[in-house]
Chains A and B, each alone.
Chain A
């Protein structure tokens, strides 16, 4: 799995930053956040399909990571470790939302119109170019199909296909066995293939 840490080519190793964080160095934590915030946000966004919710869940995940950084023993990469927090936070949120009767599908399209542009937690959104409409439709189809998967199935397919994570890394992030990851991947792929066949065959 390629992380932003490797992309950044920073001289300071991830483990050094973690050790400094454990001593209470907020600047070191800021550096770790900078290295993986985009990937974390992207993963959460693909799970919940709402920029505002993804923003807030990413903030909550990083805050929890800061509070529990003392328990990080360095047995896995920081990225895998924080993914476990991210997945716990996001899957819990999705379950609660389902219980309350809400549905994450297409929330973003609605919320973009409802959100106050001056709100602190809302990232600036740009108007969609007309020539990108077709691609947006495809994307909406994909998001709708992913929205029909259970949170656990969403997590495995996104971590495998988008982040190129290995089975054992996914298992660690989700706190389950490698066999469970493989089984979930099987059913998630079958479901998405049935829902998106016309899309990937024609694109």
Chain B
């Protein structure tokens, strides 16, 4: 929906046509005064165009030359700035921080796993072993060993003998 000002402008510039034009002209209270104002606006436009179009750029080639120099200067500055800034300002960028954080976390986890593994208490043997060599007569049985395996939970004791010619008489179960 155009405002009156917008319709008026379009009418002055001959941009209204068809039903929009006839509707707008019918809405004007004084068509003759409106036509006179339209003619004034046309004169104003002609005056502006005649007087203001004449101003031209002097020294056109120098204008372009100066602009070229500025562009070269700007481009040169950018080329010089890039390598100078990269080692300092680009070092702790967000990706680098992320990598550093991830690597630190991984090292920490590995160390933690290793330490926990080492500190885990060794499982207590299910058996208690006693070597009873002292009771074996080395003359009778020089390579003989007697071992006792005892399962605490089940209250079971296994007597394991190797290399004995015979059980010592004094080792009889009492």
Are B5 and A33 in contact, with the CB atoms below 8 A? no
Query: Residues of A with Cβ closer than 8 Å to B?
Result: 26, 29-30, 33-34, 37-38, 41-42, 45-46, 51, 55, 58-59, 62-63, 66-67, 120-121, 123-125, 135, 138-139, 142, 157-158, 160-162, 167, 179, 182-183, 185-187, 189, 192-193, 196-197, 199-201, 203
Are B66 and A120 in contact, with the CB atoms below 8 A? yes
Complex CA distance for A34 and B40, rounded to whole angstroms: 36
Contact of A63 among B3, B53, B70 (CB under 8 A): B70
A200/B56 contact (C-beta < 8 A), A37-B64, A183-B5 known: no
Complex CA distance for A33 and B45, rounded to whole angstroms: 28
Are A182 and B10 in contact, with the CB atoms below 8 A? yes
Complex CA distance for A36 and B40, rounded to whole angstroms: 31
Closest to B56 in A: A38
Are B8 and A33 in contact, with the CB atoms below 8 A? no
Are B68 and A30 in contact, with the CB atoms below 8 A? yes
Complex CA distance for A138 and B44, rounded to whole angstroms: 13
Are A63 and B71 in contact, with the CB atoms below 8 A? yes
Cβ of B9 < 8 Å from any Cβ of A? Answer: yes
Interface residues on B, range: 35 or more
Are B68 and A142 in contact, with the CB atoms below 8 A? no
- The B contact surface, by secondary structure, is helix
Q: Distance in Å from the Cβ of B52 to the closest Cβ of chain A?
A: 5
Q: Return the CB mask of B1-12 against A: 1 if under 8 Å, else 0.
A: 011011011101
Contact of B74 among A67, A157, A189, A193 (CB under 8 A): A67
Contact of B3 among A42, A120, A183 (CB under 8 A): A183
Closest to B9 in A: A182
Cβ of B55 < 8 Å from any Cβ of A? Answer: yes
Q: Distance in Å from the Cβ of A174 to the closest Cβ of chain B?
A: 15
Are A37 and B40 in contact, with the CB atoms below 8 A? no
Q: Distance in Å from the Cβ of A68 to the closest Cβ of chain B?
A: 12
Q: 24 A–B contact pairs at CB < 8 A?
A: A38-B56, A38-B60, A42-B53, A42-B56, A46-B52, A58-B57, A58-B63, A59-B63, A59-B70, A66-B71, A66-B74, A67-B74, A120-B66, A121-B66, A124-B58, A158-B48, A182-B6, A182-B10, A183-B3, A189-B12, A193-B37, A197-B40, A200-B43, A203-B47
